[in-house]
Amino acid sequence: MQPALIDTATLATQWVGSEFAPRWSVIALVLGAALALGMLSVRAGAVPTLRRGQRWFHAASVLAWTCGGWLLGLRLLEAPSLAETSVRALLVLLVVVVALPILRDLYSGLALALEGRHRIGDDIRIDPHEGRIIGFGLRSVILRDRDGTETSIPHRRFAAREIVRLNLARRDAPCQFEVALAPGLDLDVSSRRLLEAAMLSPYAAPGRRPEVFAVADARGGMHLRVHAYVFDRAYEARYRGDVLARADLLASTSSESAR
């Protein structure tokens, strides 16, 4: 009776594997889509036209990774015998246990994306950190402090802590961008010119004085970073364009005056 039971279990295992195990091509397609969605989610924050859909890209990426992992698990469990299937199942379970911190970050990020309470550009305070959200990764939130320091906060920690939105009481929204400084231009004059343009823009929030900082890039070039507030988040792109246009206008006016 025992050999018959073993043969029956082996046949059942082989039938399940042949019927339900997905093809490698399907697994590769799903994992490729998950990777593409993840990259799109990370880079969408830098593209204004894609920024609104970033949380949906993130949610779709996590769901695609989940589906791909499930299909891969089914494929790895396919074995000619019940004993080998059991060993593979234990190995898959061990991998899941080891990857639990990563999985917690991924699914905490999924919950944050579906809730949609926080967006890029929000000024927040979480624990000792206070700054602006500049990006959402698959595993962490990137926060930039006022001194320019960037901090990555894991999604599980971000979801578990008390978060204070500093710009909730008013519609003013932070706006930050950088302008490359052309060689030969005076740093102080350019900073003053850009600050003046940022203050004169009609999209600037009243009572919020802009700030201009000089920062160096990796190649040794100089950039001017503008940190300001617009009276409404919807006009952030217009504010940037207006400031750049006014800075050019001031430059041409100054040149004509010098002549």
Question: What are the structural domains of the chain?
Answer: 2-115 (no CATH), 123-165 (2.30.30), 173-258 (3.30.70.100)
Residue with tokens 């008013």: 170
Q: How many CA atoms lie within 13 A of 104 on its CB side?
A: 11
Distance, in Å, from the CA atom of 78 to the CA atom of 178, rounded to the nearest integer, reads: 54
Q: Is the pLDDT at 9 greater than 60, yes or no?
A: no
Q: Is the pLDDT at 79 greater than 70, yes or no?
A: no
Identify whether the C-beta of residue 185 lies closer than 8 Å to the C-beta of residue 224: no
Q: Is the pLDDT at 237 greater than 70, yes or no?
A: yes
Q: Is the pLDDT at 210 greater than 60, yes or no?
A: yes
Q: With 0-12 CB in 10 A as exposed, 13-18 as middle and 19+ as buried, what is 10?
A: middle
Q: Is the pLDDT at 193 greater than 60, yes or no?
A: yes
Average pLDDT of the chain is 75
* Mean pLDDT, rounded, for 140-144: 84
Q: Which two tokens stand for residue 242?
A: 């207006």
Q: Whats the size of the chain, residue-wise?
A: 259
Looking at per-residue confidence, does 70 or 249 come out higher?
A: 70
- The most distant pair of C-alpha atoms in the chain lies apart, rounded to whole Å, by 106
Q: For the chain, what percent of residues have pLDDT higher than 70?
A: 79
Distance, in Å, from the CA atom of 214 to the CA atom of 216, rounded to the nearest integer, reads: 7
Q: For the chain, what percent of residues have pLDDT higher than 90?
A: 0
pLDDT at 207 (0 to 100): 76
* Mean pLDDT, rounded, for 123-148: 80
What's the distance, CA 147 to chain centroid? Answer: 21
Q: Is the dihedral of CA 51, 52, 58, 60 positive or negative?
A: negative
pTM (2 d.p.): 0.49
Query: How does DSSP classify residue 25?
Result: H
Looking at per-residue confidence, does 100 or 21 come out higher?
A: 100
